[in-house]
Chain A
Amino acid sequence: MKNRISWRVATVSSARWETASARTLVLDVPDWPGHLPGQHIDVRLTAEDGYTAQRSYSIASAWTPAPSATGAGSAGAPGTVELTIQRLDDGEVSPYLTDVVEPGDQIELRGPVGGWFVWREKQTAPVLLIAGGSGIVPLMAMIRARGEARGRQPFRLIYSVRTPEDAAYADELRLRVRENPGLDVHFVYTRKAPDGWPTPPKRIDVAAINSHGWPPDFQPDCYVCGPTSFVETAADILVALGHDPKRIRTERFGGA
């Protein structure tokens, strides 16, 4: 990341729905330099009258210089970047990316950027990932990167969603829990839980993080991502439970 970053044009090569309102765009980016899991890109849309709108989107795919080893999901071919965009019905940019853009279309982007909210394979500590809604995207890139590298670092994901239908990457997560040893996934349902779920729907709380995270003594590296209020709640709980604030990295996506 030594060179200054400038805008480049990417081509949408394919797209798929992850949930009824979240869509993954696979982008072909010429001369893509590679990225670290957790990094994002900025997308810039320009209307015919010259008006522009710019938004940040995390990279969902892992980057490996060689083709996928396991085929268990998105290893990300060289020069390929995947984004997952959650549609906000009253949003300016996200409905365009989920409902209007089609394969073959071009979009302008800048990146990869951001070197702080990243996980590197050389980190050996246990990892706790806490995602609220679309905050799963950069954390999924970390899970994918660990999987592709056959990493042994113990990983736990706590993923808060409104309903089971709102969970992105659900099939892939299930597969990875089986095939990537040392990965655990726990869901928190805030509006509707699956039948037979042991607790009624509730927001993320001390009990969930205490029972499904790591004890502070394990000195895990914690990554928290999602809507701003979610990130603040989860990070406060981690600090209250005794986690070292220096080991808690947060990324706020905005919203309430």
Chain B
Amino acid sequence: MEIDGNALAGDLSEVFATDATVAVFTCAGCGHAGAVATLRVWGPAPGAVGRCPSCTDVILRLVRTPSRLILTLTGATRLELPLDA
């Protein structure tokens, strides 16, 4: 079932001190920049894959195990987080 990056807000809030769904990613594949909230996500699931809405390349992966949360950001060349969100 396809949803979007808004749904990652809860899990990301356990990793980042500010809301990471407003952070702007830059896609390593096509250069598109947009809010993490706009990523295409397949879910709900213990593991989520966030894809670029422009070229569908994988931007991030978020996997939950009983003891840790693993965030892989291979598809982004840049992640810009506002400090006052």
Do the two chains belong together in a single complex?
A: yes
Q: Which residues does chain A contribute within 8 Å of B3, judged by CB atoms? A: 228, 252-254
Distance between Cα atoms of A114 and B35 in the complex (Å): 11
Residues of A in contact (CB 8 Å), total 27
What is the CB-to-nearest-CB distance from B60 to chain A, in angstroms, rounded to a whole number?
Answer: 15
State whether B10 touches A1 (Cβ < 8 A).
no
Judge whether A5 and B14 touch: CB under 8 Å.
yes
Q: Which residues of B contact A199 (CB under 8 A)?
A: none
Q: Tell which of B1, B6, B38, B43 touches A114, judged by Cβ atoms closer than 8 Å.
A: B6
Contact of B10 with A252 in the complex, beta carbons under 8 Å: no
Asked whether B10 lies within 8 Å of A5 as measured between CB atoms, the reply is yes
A3 interface residue per 8 A CB criterion: yes
Size of the B side of the interface (Cβ < 8 Å), in residues, is 24
Min CB gap B33→A, angstroms: 11
Q: How far is the CA of A249 from the CA of B1 in the complex (A)?
A: 20
B22 to chain A, nearest CB (A): 5
Is A228 within 8 A of B1, CB to CB? yes
Is there a chain A Cβ closer than 8 Å to B21's Cβ? yes
Within 8 A of B (CB), among A68-122: 110-111, 113-117
Interface residue? B19 (CB, 8 A): yes
Report Cα–Cα, A119/B22, bound state, in Å: 13
User: Which A residues touch B38, using CB under 8 A?
Assistant: 116, 250
CB neighbors of A among B1-39 (8 A): 1-7, 9-10, 13-14, 16-19, 21-22, 35-38
Task: Assess whether B47 is interfacial by the CB under 8 Å rule.
Answer: no
Complex Cα spacing A252 to B4, Å = 6
The answer to whether residues A251 and B6 also contact, given A115-B22, A115-B85 and a CB cut-off of 8 A, is yes
Given contacts A115-B22, A254-B43, contact A2 B2 (CB under 8 A): no
**Contact across chains for A110 and B1 when beta carbons are under 8 A apart:** no
A1's contact among B5, B7, B19, B44, by CB below 8 Å, is which? B19
Nearest chain B CB to A221 CB, angstrom units = 14
Determine whether A6 belongs to the interface, using a CB cutoff of 8 Å to chain B.
yes
Smallest CB-CB separation from B4: which chain A residue?
Answer: A252
Q: Tell whether A255 pairs with B6 under 8 Å between CB atoms, given A56-B44, A250-B38.
A: no
User: Can you list 19 A-B pairs, Cβ within 8 angstroms, ordered by A?
Assistant: A1-B19, A3-B17, A5-B14, A6-B14, A40-B6, A110-B10, A110-B13, A113-B10, A113-B13, A114-B37, A115-B9, A115-B21, A116-B19, A116-B22, A116-B37, A249-B37, A250-B4, A251-B37, A254-B44
Nearest 9 CB-CB pairings of A with B: A116-B37, A115-B19, A113-B9, A42-B10, A114-B9, A5-B13, A254-B1, A252-B4, A113-B10
A interface with B by C-beta (< 8 Å): 1-6, 40-42, 54-56, 110-111, 113-117, 228, 249-255
